[in-house]
Amino acid sequence: MSGQSLAGKKIAILAASGVEQVELVETRDAVRAAGADTAIISVPSGVQDGRIQAMNSDIVPADTFQIDSLVSAVSVDDFDALILPGGTINPDKLRQDAEAVAFVRAFVTSGKPVGAICHGPWTLIEAGVVRGRTLTSWPSLRTDLRNAGATVVDEEVVTDNGLVTSRKPDDLPAFCAKIVEEFAEGRHQS
């Protein structure tokens, strides 16, 4: 990770209340340490006073985080890459928001790199962008991924043409290193 620079790049972190705190914080800190600017983008559901509620292990309230914008006010053109942290509540809210789903779809179809960890791929499924791709995820999503046309593997980190996925918080060191590498490379074919 130390040799990769993200200076001058802006990374969107799409997260709603219920996001797994460690997956938000560690990915954000990794790309910032490589020089990127980050923005937490969210959906109206669950935002209170401009903040989202993070969780530990899905059920224990953790910290709150100030959002930078709602997804309805931004464009894929504003960012160089996208991070989709997990937690079960977070992607479940995102996949029910048409603008969030369209934002994720536009990222993948634009060829810009995307990183999704744990339950994060649920939003990729809803966006219709996993068919023919190889991914990993939290075990409970694997049938959903297969049903959506993805090839699913049980590996710490998987990269498929700019789409980086990991299974769980224990995979964060490998996931963070790989997203920094992919985000530094930039555009990919989708």
**Each residue's pLDDT tens digit, 112-170:** 999 999 999 999 999 999 999 999 999 999 999 999 999 999 999 999 999 999 999 99
Alpha helices in 16-156 (DSSP H): 21-33, 89-94, 98-110, 121-126, 142-147
Q: How confident is the model at residue 189 (pLDDT cuts 50, 70, 90)?
A: low
Known catalytic residues are: 118-119
Domain count, the chain: 1
18 Cβ partners below 8 Å, 6+ apart?
Answer: 46, 53, 54, 55, 58, 87, 88, 89, 90, 92, 93
For residue 1, tell me if it sits in a domain: no
pTM of the model: 0.96
Burial of 70 (0-12, 13-18, 19+ CB in 10 A): middle
The CATH number given to whatever domain includes residue 41 is 3.40.50.880
Q: Which residue range(s) make up the domain with 82?
A: 10-184
**Nearest to residue 118, comparing CAs of 57, 65, 169, 59?**
169
Model confidence over 36-84: pLDDT tens digits?
Answer: 999 999 999 999 999 999 999 999 999 999 999 999 999 999 999 999 9
